[in-house]
Amino acid sequence: MITNFKIDSTDKRILRLLSQNARVAFLEIARKLGVSGPAISQRVQKLSEQGIFSDSGIHLNPRAMGYLTCAFIGIQVNLISTTTHEEVFKRIKEIPEIVECHHITGKYSLLAKIYARNNEHLKNIIVEKIQSIREIVSTETFISLEEGFIRNVPIE
């Protein structure tokens, strides 16, 4: 629920600290900002109610979990008969190795981010799971050699 909610400088400082370590105690944030613990708790609750946090899950390290190959796949969809774009998207969503999927403009309909155990596993995901969907006309795979960086949106 995003409204005309204004994020002030204290909220921004809280967001910066939580972005660096989502598990930091509210009392530690309060100490660093020179405010009370309940004030931090109330502010975080308001930020949460406004939809500022997209999730509060723990992010797993794919490499530590045995997923050594990261790839991005452009997926071109040809909608035949009564199949809808959303039905194809729903089938893509059922593939557990696909961790992100975006509807995009341009040559492809979808852009998926995949983690695979190795290149052979990636090939099996592409051929057996993705390309086996009848409405998918073609795919183009981009293997990530190294993740340069990942970050949140800027907190200005």
Whether 91 maps to a domain, the answer reads yes
**Are 85 and 77 contacting, i.e. CB atoms less than 8 angstroms apart?**
yes
Q: Tell me the two tokens of residue 67.
A: 């997923």
Residues of the chain with pLDDT > 90, as a percent, come to 71
Domain residues for the domain of 15 are: 9-49
**Are 44 and 26 contacting, i.e. CB atoms less than 8 angstroms apart?**
yes
On whether both 90 and 133 belong to a single domain, the answer is yes
Region label for 66, one of left (φ > 0), alpha (ψ between -120 and 50) or beta (otherwise): left
Could you read off the pLDDT of 26-55 as tens digits, one per residue? 999 999 999 999 999 999 999 999 989 887
SS3 26: helix
Place of tokens 């708790």: 41
Compute the distance between CA of residue 114 and CA of residue 139 in angstroms, rounded to an integer. Answer: 13
Total domain count, the chain: 2
> 74 CB contacts (<8 Å, ≥6 apart)?
107, 108, 110, 111, 139, 140, 141, 142
Identify the burial level of 99 via C-beta atoms within 10 angstroms of its C-beta, where 0-12 means exposed, 13-18 middle and 19 or more buried.
middle
Whether 1 maps to a domain, the answer reads no
Residues of the chain with pLDDT > 70, as a percent, come to 94
On whether both 73 and 40 belong to a single domain, the answer is no
Whether 25 maps to a domain, the answer reads yes
> In this structure, what CATH number is given to the domain that contains residue 40?
1.10.10.10
Whether 154 maps to a domain, the answer reads no
Position 86 scores a pLDDT of: 85
On whether both 89 and 131 belong to a single domain, the answer is yes
Could you read off the pLDDT of 57-77 as tens digits, one per residue? 778 899 999 999 999 999 999
Whether 74 maps to a domain, the answer reads yes
The answer to whether residue 95 scores a pLDDT higher than 60 is yes
Whether 63 maps to a domain, the answer reads no
**Are 116 and 69 contacting, i.e. CB atoms less than 8 angstroms apart?**
yes
The span from the first CA to the last CA of the chain, in angstroms, equals: 21
β-strands 69-77, 136-144: how paired? antiparallel
On whether both 79 and 22 belong to a single domain, the answer is no
On whether both 25 and 90 belong to a single domain, the answer is no
Give the confidence band of 139 by pLDDT, cuts at 50, 70, 90: very high
On whether both 42 and 91 belong to a single domain, the answer is no
Position 156 scores a pLDDT of: 80
Position 43 scores a pLDDT of: 94
